A and B are shown apart, each in its own frame.
Chain A
Amino acid sequence: DVKVTQSSRYLVKRTGEKVFLECVQDMDHENMFWYRQDPGLGLRLIYFSYDVKMKEKGDIPEGYSVSREKKERFSLILESASTNQTSMYLCASSLLGIRDRDLTGELFFGEGSRLTVL
């Protein structure tokens, strides 16, 4: 089975702190994604990556950055956390072949990281 592991299930940070959320997948997937989940809004895409050192902005990238130095690891960075970034953050990976233009692959999600910014 595909396993997507998010390093922290629960975090509490203060406004202005730098926050790192780490995600590792073990199935050699090329594509990785960061979403945030908020009640009534569903999941919104922050950033995604289809290759090492490659990144693409999603729908709500403001206030976030990402890093993908190794294929299995995709990190989300909040440079200066704010209270409106309090949310559940979900990492996902997929066999979706962006370079092959294959749209059929489903996403595999981690357990989520619930971030509270005070």
Chain B
Amino acid sequence: AQSVAQPEDQVNVAEGNPLTVKCTYSVSGNPYLFWYVQYPNRGLQFLLKYITGDNLVKGSYGFEAEFNKSQTSFHLKKPSALVSDSALYFCAVRANTGGFKTIFGAGTRLFVKA
């Protein structure tokens, strides 16, 4: 069965510092991996995805994520955090052996302090 783990409920970082939001996954078959962001009282917005190819994926708002097959991880990163990055972040996975369902992690709340 597919699953996604976001081991941290909350991540705190100072503005200007690098940030990492962790995600690990478990699937049978090739994974397709996604990151979404949710601002308060809003729907989710797509940030980036890994389908194939280069393990480092660049996305919206300066975010990037690194796919690591051996560690089954897809951590979200940004070199320099902004206060406006404070939001709820979801990692998601899809695999051809899991049908066409997208499985989401529980979410990680990011707080960026000025």
Contact = CB atoms under 8 A, between A and B. Distances in A.
Contacts of B45: 109
Contacts of B107: 42
Interface in A100-118: 101, 103-104, 106-112, 114
A44 B100 CA distance: 14
B102 A45 contact: yes
12 contacts: A40-B106, A43-B104, A50-B100, A58-B101, A96-B100, A104-B32, A107-B34, A107-B36, A107-B46, A109-B43, A111-B42, A112-B43
A59 B44 contact: no
Interface residues of B, number: 24
A112 B43 CA distance: 5
A59 B1 CA distance: 12
Contacts of A41: 106
Contact of A106 (B46, B100, B101, B106): B46
